[in-house]
A and B are shown apart, each in its own frame.
Chain A
Amino acid sequence: MPRIFGRQREKPSSGRARSLTEPAPVRWLLTAAAIGFILLFLLVPLLLIFAKAAEDGFGAYIAAVSEPYALAAIRLTLITAIITVPLNLLFGLAAAWAITKFEFRGKNILVTLIDLPFSVSPVVSGMLFVLLFGAQGFCGPWLQEHGIKIIFALPGIVMATAFVTSPLVARELIPLMRGQGTEEEEMALTLGASGLQTFLRVSLPKIKWGVFYGVVLCSARSVGEFGAVSVVSGHIRGLTTTVPLHVEMLYNEYQFVAAFAVASLLTVLALVALVLKSLIEWKTSERGAQR
């Protein structure tokens, strides 16, 4: 119950005995240094995005986020996320179920393989799909003969995004489900529930916040993926540019206000993800406290 501990120590500096905390000037100095670091690396960049986006007024902002290319980019990003997130959710659920509810040889290898995309640079991840499906790639000639386009088109963007974000849900669920064991599921089965019923009624409710958090994280990353998508997209404006790529193109064309305006949409989305995360943490710690 580590979280409950954290709650009780809401004001540790005032609650702690004098011998167990630092002298006030030291506390102030350390706090000031920490806040300074946060200002320089998090808060000021965050404010700057919105300030630059609003520099030319409300009209310019609306124009930048509602021009046809921006709308096409938003559409492409949403389609990519709508395909990627459910696939990775299914993968995460299946992988976590297999790994935490059963014993089998090579389990550690499987866990390492699931984590693998995290240690591959996004650019390299995108490159793998170019090597496979690009014009000079292994399947390139065959695909060309049959008129199938994967690279510089939606399928390539979806695959690259799915590759990069595939560990997120599984990573969230495996530690959570490992701690829960299999007793309750076994009990449900003994009492006559079917396998599917057991999963839906017993297992899923226990991990619903973990699933929710995994989906939030996976969505945020899918929407924002840049390096891998950059390699497979080909930067065809209005056709294969996702929102982050659209931001890049605007920025490189010195359309700074428009770039930051579109970037501010992504920033709002990231902030929503952070709020949801805090909410989930608050919810789960509250439940822990009731037990």
Chain B
Amino acid sequence: MSDRQRGVLPGFGLSMGFTLSYLGLLVLIPLGTLFLKMAAMSWSHFVEVVLSPRALAAYRLSFGAALSAATINAVCGLLLAWVLERYYFPGKRLIDGLIDLPFALPTAVAGIALTTMYAGNGWVGQHLASLGIKVSYTPLGVVVALTFVGLPFVVRTVQPVLRDLPVAVEEAAASMGAGRLQIFFRLILPELLPAAVTGFTLAFARGLGEYGSVIFIAGNMPMRSEITPLLIMIKLEEYDYAGATAIALVFLVASFATLLFINALSLRVGARARTG
């Protein structure tokens, strides 16, 4: 392609060159080593590590907890977006600003705060303990930590859609005798759903790889409350680089599948918006 077709502005070579070298050195070469390391492994060893009962239990917990947390976030995120956009109450501005806290707060800090709060003698944990519910140092704790980490995603994807929803549609439906519930489920929810699904997937992908906030609250018992990133960490600390690589690779492929799913989804949503 000649420069004329590309555009008339200067700086293409410079900006593109810097972008590609930075990306190559910092991201692509390191990622490449993962595959090189993997290629040095025998297939039977790879399968043995990747399908060991401890690894399988870790995938199960990671995917299960991330899925549960993302589901909680989808429901509560819709509720929060709705309340923040449609109702007025004192302190609303403050809460709206605080929604992004999980993006800004270091995960380790979130981890120790949630663990202390939900521990058996903690502010919230002691009340739950009297009901017989244990949160800290159980798989339930993992879900709590991942819910915190993924909290902003659905709220922030749904909010702008809800804000731009034309009032006229609701007015028309109401004037023709539709009730609020009917309007919500038949008119509003279908409009919000694509954004909510995008937010859900982002929260899920984030929760899958999360480490800092989880390791404090999980208890980290093998087979029971050990997430996959922690298992990778333990293998590294034992200098079992091959084992860590194998598990990381399987985990990475799962994460990329999620990313591709998000992209395919947003393309479909975009196409729908154009034709609709």
B33-51 CB mask vs A (1 if < 8 Å, else 0) is 1101100000000000000
Q: Which residues of A contact B27 (CB under 8 A)?
A: 113, 116-117, 163, 166
A113 touches B28 (CB 8 A): yes
B30 touches A45 (CB 8 A): no
Q: Which residues of B contact A243 (CB under 8 A)?
A: 106
CA distance A275 to B148 in the complex (A): 20
- Known A-B contacts A98-B12, A103-B5, A270-B105; the reply to A34 vs B80 at CB < 8 A is yes
In B176-229, the 8 Å CB interface with A consists of: 180, 205, 208-212, 216, 228-229
Q: Which residues of B contact A271 (CB under 8 A)?
A: 101, 104
A33 touches B95 (CB 8 A): no
Q: Which residues of A contact B148 (CB under 8 A)?
A: 41-42, 45
B6-47 CB mask vs A (1 if < 8 Å, else 0) is 111111101110110011001111110110110000000000
A95 touches B87 (CB 8 A): no
Q: Which residues of A contact B167 (CB under 8 A)?
A: 20
User: Among A63-71, A204-212, A218-226, which stretch is in contact with chain B?
Assistant: A218-226
CA distance A189 to B7 in the complex (A): 12
User: What secondary structure prevails in chain B residues at the interface with A?
Assistant: helix
A111-148 CB mask vs B (1 if < 8 Å, else 0) is 01111111111111001111110101110000000000
Q: Which of B6, B104, B114 contacts A274 (CB 8 A)?
A: B104
B9 touches A182 (CB 8 A): yes
B109 touches A42 (CB 8 A): no
A12 touches B108 (CB 8 A): no
B236 touches A231 (CB 8 A): yes
Q: Which residues of A contact B59 (CB under 8 A)?
A: none
A195 touches B10 (CB 8 A): yes
CA distance A274 to B98 in the complex (A): 7
Q: Which residues of A contact B210 (CB under 8 A)?
A: 121-122, 227
| Beyond known contacts A37-B79, A121-B208, A230-B211: 18 more, CB 8 A cutoff | A14-B88, A17-B171, A41-B148, A42-B151, A48-B116, A102-B12, A113-B27, A116-B27, A121-B232, A131-B37, A195-B10, A223-B106, A224-B104, A226-B106, A227-B212, A230-B233, A266-B105, A274-B101
The 10 closest A-B pairs by CB, nearest first: A224-B106, A121-B209, A195-B10, A226-B212, A227-B211, A128-B30, A270-B104, A123-B229, A45-B113, A34-B83
B contact residues vs A (CB 8 Å cutoff): 1, 5-12, 14-16, 18-19, 22-23, 26-31, 33-34, 36-37, 76, 79-80, 82-89, 95, 97-110, 112-114, 116-117, 123-124, 144, 147-148, 151, 160, 163-164, 167, 170-171, 174-175, 180, 205, 208-212, 216, 228-230, 232-233, 236, 239, 241, 244-245, 248, 251-252, 255-256, 258-259, 263
15 contacts between A and B (CB under 8 A): A5-B164, A13-B87, A30-B79, A94-B15, A119-B258, A119-B259, A127-B232, A128-B33, A136-B239, A137-B33, A186-B9, A198-B10, A245-B108, A266-B109, A267-B109
